[in-house]
Amino acid sequence: MQIYLAVTPAEAREAVRFRCPLAHVAYRIGPGSTLLRQNLLLDTRGGLLAVTDCDAPGIGQPGALAAAALRECGRRNYTGVLLDFEEPPAPDRLAFAAELARRLAPRPLFVPAGYSDAEGSIPLLGTALSGGSFAQDLQAAAEARGGPEHLALDVERLRMDFSLPAESGQGRPLTPQEFQALLEREAPAVFFSQDLCARYFTYTREGETHFVLFDDADTLQQKLRLGSRMGFAAAFLMYPEVQDLLPQLFPSRRTGSGAPT
């Protein structure tokens, strides 16, 4: 299983020190179905082209945009493409994903779950579970897709606060600062959930019990190892989410300094 760090150009110089393939989130969709590049370092080579749909116009010419992505892959020696799309799937986006998957093959196209109908694409499966069994959920998703090799993991770092009873299964996301302040204030006993492959603790405030579920370097490594053993195609880590954990996640890969290759 290949592990990628998704980075902006500003993050790439630091991230490359860990010798992990990068997904370069440096591309967006411009007017007239153009592919716009944002401040990418000139010597960037290898990894994945990652394109966002943030504030993007409609894609009137999916073929032209797909062709532009393929040309950029050739120039930069990218081995595939990640669609870092956040908007709900729309017909123009779906048409672009399908066209790009067809032209890019056999190189991979990684897509959000909502774009899984694009033939030949590899959907991302989120790992931030708050209930059930992590391993069983991965197995069920792999079976539904026809094998784990047709899926990639979006390894999300959990920091979630649930008010009990959490009947909806939805908690409140905690910022890194909120989570750290909570740890320091409560000094809780921390436990590990084998089913969720995450750590947790409880605390009480104003008579209400709270359950906090979170990831650290060890739980993320366990999720990555499980995905690798099961045969998933790839896994993605978002650099801002794991920046502080990278020395622990990739201790043997770290170099003293470096520049993007």
Does residue 21 share a domain with residue 83? yes
Does residue 18 share a domain with residue 74? yes
Does residue 44 share a domain with residue 79? yes
The SS3 of residue 11 is helix
Is it the case that residue 208 has pLDDT exceeding 70? Answer: yes
Residue 168 sits in a domain of what CATH number? 3.10.50.10
The pLDDT value given to residue 16:
83
What letter represents residue 217's amino acid?
A
Contacts of 194 (CB under 8 A, 6+ apart): none
pLDDT tens string 49-59 = 999 998 899 99
Does residue 175 share a domain with residue 151? no
- The count of structural domains within the chain is 2
What letter represents residue 252's amino acid?
S
Does residue 208 share a domain with residue 222? no
In a domain, 254, yes or no: no
The model's pTM: 0.89
Residue 60 sits in a domain of what CATH number? 3.20.20.80
Between 17 and 126, name the one with better pLDDT: 126
Contacts of 109 (CB under 8 A, 6+ apart): 80, 81, 83, 97, 100, 101, 118, 120, 121, 122
In a domain, 17, yes or no: yes
In a domain, 13, yes or no: yes
Q: With cut-offs at 50, 70 and 90, classify the pLDDT of residue 257.
A: very low
Q: How far apart are CA 96 and CA 64, in angstroms?
A: 9
C-alpha pair distances (Å), 60 with each of 15, 63, 64, 65, 80: 35, 9, 9, 9, 23
Whether the CB-CB separation of 113 and 125 falls below 8 Å is answered with yes
Could you write out the DSSP letters of every residue in 83-125?
EE--SPP-HHHHHHHHHHHHHHTTS-EEE-GGGTTSTT-EEEE
Does residue 233 share a domain with residue 113? yes
pLDDT tens string 209-249 = 999 999 999 999 999 999 999 999 999 999 999 999 999 99
